[in-house]
């Protein structure tokens, strides 16, 4: 993604949200495959003068046996995340420890791994995921904990293409992943119903809306005051 005026203005907005002595918990939500993890990493990199980290909601998934026991054959729908782990993570951020543990989930084995450790206290934590900030049972505490929310939008066909590419890369590398037919089924049967019900409505209450092109480059940024930058 280019360091163009739109991206620079987004970085400036995030910097404006930072408060001395507090950790900004910034949510980033949007379609699967829309480029949230890339944008989150780029924001953290651009804010190199502040102590920041990004983490994915995917890293809070329940282990496969527990998820299956709760009646969820696939990862993704509300109810497939470890809410206790998520609440503990938010509490850790608010406590501002000198070392922060960032959860890690292995999609291949569908089991949690030892956490990543980073130096704290953090000034900014970007939590990205397609269910971040949604209004659904069990997810209200996270919605209330977010200080601000960015909605990342992309054409659904392009987002699906990116998801297919990601899974094909995982398969080729021997890290699990789904076949193309499995991706299509998962997208249409498991993901898209959740997108329509829970994700798209979040756009109306996001603090900033970021529109990405098919190649994940930033196209436009819409700000709360009605201004936009492209």
The string of pLDDT tens digits covering residues 121-166 is: 999 999 999 999 999 999 999 999 999 999 999 999 998 898 898 8
Which structural domain range is residue 157 located in? 5-229
pLDDT tens, 35-90?
999 999 999 999 999 999 999 999 999 999 999 999 999 888 999 999 999 999 99
Does 186 score more than 90 pLDDT?
A: no
How many other C-beta atoms lie within 10 A of the C-beta of residue 71? 7
Query: Residue 121: is the preceding peptide bond cis (ω within 30°)?
Result: yes
Does 189 score more than 50 pLDDT?
A: yes
pLDDT at 216: 83
Residue in 202, 206, 145 with CA at minimum distance from that of residue 13: 206
For the chain, the domain total comes to: 1
Does 1 score more than 50 pLDDT?
A: no
Q: Helix, strand, or coil here: 12?
A: helix
How many other C-beta atoms lie within 10 A of the C-beta of residue 210? 24
Look up residue 119 and give its two tokens: 């130096």
Averaged pLDDT score across all residues of the chain: 92
pLDDT at 141: 97
pLDDT tens, 210-221?
999 988 888 899
Alpha carbon distances (Å) from 211 to 186, 194, 219: 24, 20, 5
Does 10 score more than 90 pLDDT?
A: yes
pLDDT at 215: 86
Whether the CA torsion 101, 106, 110, 111 is positive or negative: it is negative
DSSP state at residue 206:
-
Does 173 score more than 80 pLDDT?
A: yes
Share of the chain above pLDDT 70, in %: 98
pLDDT at 3: 64
Query: Which CATH number do you get for residue 32?
Result: 3.40.50.300
| pLDDT classification of 175: cutoffs 50, 70, 90 | confident
Which single residue is written with the structure tokens 């998962």? 186
């Amino acid at each position: 993604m280019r360091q163009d005026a739109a991206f620079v203005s987004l970085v400036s907005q995030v910097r404006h949200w930072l408060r001395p002595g507090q950790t900004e918990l910034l949510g980033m939500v949007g379609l699967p495959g829309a480029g949230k993890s890339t944008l989150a990493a780029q924001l953290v990199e651009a804010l190199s003068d502040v102590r920041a980290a990004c983490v994915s909601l995917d890293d809070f998934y329940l282990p496969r046996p527990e998820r299956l026991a709760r009646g969820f054959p696939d990862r993704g729908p509300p109810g497939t995340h470890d809410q206790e782990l998520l609440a503990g993570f938010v509490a850790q951020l608010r406590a501002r420890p000198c070392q922060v543990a960032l959860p890690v989930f292995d999609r291949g084995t569908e089991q949690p791994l030892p956490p990543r450790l980073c130096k704290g206290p953090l000034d900014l934590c970007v939590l990205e995921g397609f269910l971040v900030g949604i209004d659904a049972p069990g997810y209200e505490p996270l919605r209330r904990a977010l200080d601000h929310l960015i909605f990342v939008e992309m054409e659904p066909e392009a987002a699906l293409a990116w998801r297919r590419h990601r899974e094909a890369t995982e398969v080729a590398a021997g890290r699990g992943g789904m076949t193309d037919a499995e991706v299509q089924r998962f997208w249409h049967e498991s993901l898209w119903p959740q997108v329509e019900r829970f994700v798209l409505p979040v756009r109306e209450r996001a603090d900033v809306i970021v529109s990405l092109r098919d190649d994940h480059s930033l196209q436009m940024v819409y700000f709360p005051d009605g201004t936009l930058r492209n």
